[in-house]
Amino acid sequence: MNIGQIRENAWAMPVTSPSYPKGPYRFFNREFLVITYRTDPAKLRAVVPEPLTIEEPLVNYEFIRMPDSTGFGDYTESGQVIPVSHNGVAGNYTHAMYLNDHPATAGGRELWGFPKKIATPHLETFSDTLVGTLDYGPLRVATGTMGYKHAPLDAEALGRSLAKTPNYLLKVMPHVDGSARVCELVRFYLQDIQMKGAWSGPAALEFAAHARAPVAELPVLEVVGAKHFVADLTLGLGEVVFDYLE
């Protein structure tokens, strides 16, 4: 390869066989179980990066089933998303995410800065209960349950809220000497959302301590609500809102 060819193809690793294609990335029938819980405020403040702030000690624990996603395929992910504020505007900060698909892990980390690790999440319906689980290796680290479609939610209103809510990530990419080459706060939005249904119901959530999947470091003190929804959507590419190295 000459220098021009390298520049033309230098958009993902490995250059000769990229781990994921170029976007946009469209998701069909993306299914969410989101359980909102109250946690320890001091521990929450310790993991939310400035200039983001928190108003209440709340965390959204998510199980997301993605059976049909362009470029990434069929996979599931699970993790913690924290309601935050930036310049007075409410948003969400993704603190941890675990999934069972390498292209989505590589693309999510390299493009946006999603804090992704490989693990084994599941989201399934058993009789009258929606059940989400996360295993890291042989150990169960998270279990979430919700009564299946107990009460309808306003799906269109939820879709509008999702579309207007900014989402934040702390993107870190190392230099070859091990120092930070990139250290940025990234913002992105969900786009072209087509809601297919939304429901609420009674929910429960429990964690187990794990050194490499430390979801229990933000402990569940009280479950305050849950929602289950299905949508088609596009994951918009990001923009840098704060550079920690400048």
Distance CA 165, CA 116 (A): 21
Cβ–Cβ under 8 Å, residues 187 and 168 = yes
Cβ-based neighbours of 160, under 8 Å, separated by 6 or more: none
What gap in Å lies between CA 121 and CA 141, rounded to an integer?
10
Measured CA to CA, the distance from residue 218 to residue 42 in angstroms comes to: 10
The widest CA-to-CA distance across the chain, in whole angstroms, is 60
Catalytic residue among 22, 43, 116, 227: 116
Phi-psi region of 137 (alpha: psi -120 to 50; beta: other; left: phi over 0): left
Say whether 187 sits in a helix, a strand or coil.
strand
Burial environment of residue 4 by CB neighbours within 10 A (0 to 12, 13 to 18, 19 or more): exposed
Is 116 tagged catalytic? yes
* DSSP at 215: G
Closest CA to 182 of 118, 109, 244: 244
d(CA 120, CA 139): 10
Which residues are identified as catalytic?
A: 116
